[in-house]
Each structure stands twice: as structure tokens, then as C-alpha cells.
Amino acid sequence: MRLRLMLAVLAGTIAFGAPVSAQVSNDDIGGIPTETQDRMRAGDQTNAALNWLGLIGLLGLWGLNKGHEEDSYHPSDID
């Protein structure tokens, strides 16, 4: 049963997925690059700086995670 389900999902993915050659790129529509494509071609360094800033922000959010004051498996409010 599990094998049939996996084969059905795989067949559906293959049937409904468009091949790469059929996907429309922006160059085919008139050759006007998007703003993101311009930044990627220019090699803008602010992108790397923003990635590092985001990583530092995520590490800061990790510090907000509070653990239990007691070290038991099921902490209780009433002692």
C-alpha cells in the first residue's frame, strides 16, 4: 500500500511538473531584467551584509527561549 502511494505521488509530480525548457524566463518576454536580476549581475555586496545581519538576528531570537526553572520532566506550578 505504501509503495503504491509513493508511486502515485511520484507519477503525479512528474505529470504536473513543467519541464525546465517550458518555463518562461524574463529574457524571453522582452529582455527587460528585473531588479533582482540587476542586483545579482552587479554582485551587490549589501546582500551579503544583510544575510549576516539576519543570521545575527536569528541567533538573538534563540536567546529568548526560556527553559523551565526546575529540571524535572513534568514541571508543576504547585509545589
SS3 state at 74:
coil
- Report pLDDT for 39: 76
pLDDT in tens, 21-73: 666 666 556 677 778 777 777 776 777 788 889 899 888 888 777 766 666 66
What's the burial of 38, exposed, middle or buried (CB within 10 Å: 0-12/13-18/19+)?
Answer: exposed
In angstroms, rounded to a whole number, what is the distance separating the alpha carbons of residues 72 and 18?
53
What pTM, to 2 d.p., does this model score?
A: 0.34
**The C-alpha cell that represents 63 in the structure block:** 536567546
Host H or E run for residue 12: helix 2-16
- Report pLDDT for 7: 92
SS3 state at 23:
coil
